[in-house]
Amino acid sequence: MERSAYIRTARRIVVKIGTHVLTDDRGRLATEIFDSVIDEVVRLSEAGKEIVIVSSGAIAAGRALLAPAHQTASIPEKQALAAIGQTQLMGMYQQALDRYGKRAAQVLLTRDDLGHRRRYLNARNTLFKLLQFSVVPVVNENDTVMVEEIKFGDNDSLSARVTILVDADILILLTDAPGLCARHGTGVRDEAPIPFVQEVTPDLRRLARGPSGLLGTGGMATKIEAARIATEAGHPAVIADGKRPNVITDILEGRQVGTFFAPLEDRLSHKKHWIAYSLPKKGELVLDDGAVRAIVHKGKSLLSSGVVEVRGRFDSGEMVACLDRDGIERARGITHYSSQEILRIAGKQSGEIESILGYRIQDEVIHRDELVLMTRQGTCQARRTE
């Protein structure tokens, strides 16, 4: 299927703009780039499109304003630079929108925000309301409060999750490369990009490995990963040159711009994608061979009788990984029981749970509706029944 067949009816679009797109050769935010992006956003909005921007550039803006003598790397320094640069970043977007009498809205998120179902839905509802108000949401990671446990790590990953959050029709990742090239990472800059990717494979991920540069935290590898996350949820993605004139419009009109990633037909449900990619893993359950066969090949729930080992400490309602005896992750899901409770009922039949614990929350440790299968490459695997 050609790319135009996937995107000709696209109405809601997430556009991620990388640091190297927004900055000039001195590492400073470039007014003309913001004006160009907003010109397209306003024009598309007037044509009935809804645009959510995921923007990098806060740390680079802060660094340029302070003009430090060295490239900083510590978390406190990056947080301080992000706090300084975020105000300028939003100011640049608003200044570009002022020419049209439009408003921008700052939305700062952490992985923790999307890991709590209520906060996830609150963020989703807020973004929908902003679009209803014809305001341009500008999303960024909340770098000033980030710690390793709650950070996305890069705005490419964040943009994929925002795509799923708002049920966007397409994710557009704008970078300083023309797309994914067959010799990416070798210094070749003029090579034509791979036009169409049916599926993100391990070979493709290896091809994408390369440096992210001094100003950004991502790279082509993180963009491939973002495309994988989006396409597994049924959303197409494009990686393209952000400094190409009218690049967003050209993509939405189906022109051969950048690298297009086709969505998987067997898409994960919205909830299962949230379980797989938004929730932090709190522990692990090792399963016997029968339990692995039941959940992987028969689509069954995980029962206490199939658990042979509990690793880590976790509460009910948290996400845990399910491993086979060889240590390979076969699934992940939301557990109905805590680690301490599962330690007591592991290997026991469901009918024995109440006599052992004094109560029974559910017959299943993890219900199939909250269980996501994983491939041996560590990616999600959808079933047609989902």
> Residue 342, class by beta-carbon neighbours within 10 Å (0-12 exposed, 13-18 middle, 19+ buried)?
buried
Show the domain range for 186. Answer: 3-265
Q: How confident is the model at residue 181 (pLDDT cuts 50, 70, 90)?
A: confident
Query: pLDDT digits over 12-47, tens only?
Result: 999 999 999 999 988 899 999 999 999 999 999 999
The average confidence (pLDDT) of the chain is 86
* Sign of the dihedral through C-alpha 263, 264, 270, 271: negative
* Region of poorest pLDDT, from 103-117, 181-195, 227-241, 315-329: 181-195
Of the candidates 191, 186, 259, which has an alpha carbon nearest to the alpha carbon of residue 228?
Answer: 259
Q: How confident is the model at residue 146 (pLDDT cuts 50, 70, 90)?
A: low
Same domain, 296 and 344: yes
pLDDT at 8 over 90: no
What's the distance, CA 94 to chain centroid?
A: 25
Would you state the pLDDT for residue 216?
43
Q: Could you give the CA distance from residue 305 to residue 346 in angstroms, rounded to a whole number?
A: 6
Same domain, 227 and 362: no
Domain boundary among 209, 234, 265: 265
Number of structural domains the chain divides into: 2
> Residues 350-371: what's their mean pLDDT?
94
Same domain, 141 and 30: yes
* Region of poorest pLDDT, from 37-51, 69-83, 356-370: 69-83
CATH number of residue 55's parent domain: 3.40.1160.10
Same domain, 139 and 258: yes
Same domain, 79 and 22: yes
Q: Is there a contact between 285 and 342 (Cβ–Cβ < 8 Å)?
A: yes
* Region of poorest pLDDT, from 101-105, 189-193, 377-381: 377-381
Same domain, 253 and 282: no
Same domain, 322 and 180: no
Tokens of residue 120, six digits:
């996830």
pLDDT at 149 over 70: no
Query: pLDDT digits over 194-235, tens only?
Result: 999 998 888 887 776 654 444 444 578 899 999 998 998 889
Alpha helices in 233-298 (DSSP H): 247-252, 270-277, 289-297
Q: Is there a contact between 285 and 345 (Cβ–Cβ < 8 Å)?
A: no
Residue 288 belongs to some domain of the structure: yes
Q: How confident is the model at residue 297 (pLDDT cuts 50, 70, 90)?
A: very high
Q: How confident is the model at residue 357 (pLDDT cuts 50, 70, 90)?
A: very high
Q: Could you give the CA distance from residue 42 to residue 23 in angstroms, rounded to a whole number?
A: 21
Q: Are strands 12-17 and 170-175 parallel, antiparallel or unpaired?
A: parallel
> Which residue would you say has higher pLDDT here, 192 or 382?
192
> Residues 352-356: what's their mean pLDDT?
96
> Residues 273-298: what's their mean pLDDT?
91
pLDDT at 95 over 90: yes
Domain boundary among 231, 265, 299: 265
Q: Is there a contact between 106 and 130 (Cβ–Cβ < 8 Å)?
A: no
> Residues 73-96: what's their mean pLDDT?
88
Domain boundary among 218, 233, 265: 265
CATH number of residue 285's parent domain: 2.30.130.10
Q: Is there a contact between 282 and 318 (Cβ–Cβ < 8 Å)?
A: yes
Would you state the pLDDT for residue 189?
52
Would you state the pLDDT for residue 67?
66
State the number of CA atoms in the 13 A half-sphere of 50 facing the CB: 17
Tokens of residue 17, six digits:
């703009």
Residue 319 belongs to some domain of the structure: yes
Same domain, 181 and 294: no
Q: Could you give the CA distance from residue 111 to residue 153 in angstroms, rounded to a whole number?
A: 9
SS3 351: helix
Q: What is the DSSP letter of 352?
A: G
Query: pLDDT digits over 300-311, tens only?
Result: 999 999 999 999
Q: How confident is the model at residue 376 (pLDDT cuts 50, 70, 90)?
A: low
Q: How far is CA 52 from CA 15, 153, 319, in A?
A: 6, 20, 29
Q: What radius of gyration, in Å, describes the C-alpha atoms of the chain?
A: 22
Q: Could you give the CA distance from residue 79 to residue 272 in angstroms, rounded to a whole number?
A: 32
pLDDT at 317 over 80: yes
Same domain, 45 and 81: yes
Same domain, 307 and 255: no
Would you state the pLDDT for residue 266?
63
Q: Could you give the CA distance from residue 211 to residue 375 in angstroms, rounded to a whole number?
A: 27
Instruction: Encode 306-322: b = buried (16+ Cβ within 10 Å), e = exposed.
Output: bbeebeeebeeebbbbb
Residue 386 belongs to some domain of the structure: no
Q: Could you give the CA distance from residue 210 to residue 292 in angstroms, rounded to a whole number?
A: 36
What's the distance, CA 90 to chain centroid?
A: 22
Q: Which residues pair with 238 in a beta bridge?
A: 172, 260
Same domain, 256 and 304: no
Tokens of residue 207, six digits:
């091809």
Of the candidates 93, 48, 239, which has an alpha carbon nearest to the alpha carbon of residue 160?
Answer: 239
Same domain, 259 and 276: no
Residue 242 belongs to some domain of the structure: yes
Would you state the pLDDT for residue 273?
75
Q: How confident is the model at residue 386 (pLDDT cuts 50, 70, 90)?
A: very low
Would you state the pLDDT for residue 217?
45
Q: Could you give the CA distance from residue 335 to residue 337 in angstroms, rounded to a whole number?
A: 5
Q: How confident is the model at residue 70 (pLDDT cuts 50, 70, 90)?
A: low
pLDDT at 77 over 90: no
> Residues 162-184: what's their mean pLDDT?
89
Q: pTM for this structure?
A: 0.77
Residue 61 belongs to some domain of the structure: yes
Residue 166 belongs to some domain of the structure: yes
Residue 95 belongs to some domain of the structure: yes
Residue 210 belongs to some domain of the structure: yes
Instruction: Encode 173-208: b = buried (16+ Cβ within 10 Å), e = exposed.
Output: bbbebbbbbeebeeeeeeeebbeebeebeeebbebb
pLDDT at 69 over 70: no
> Which residue would you say has higher pLDDT here, 74 or 334?
334
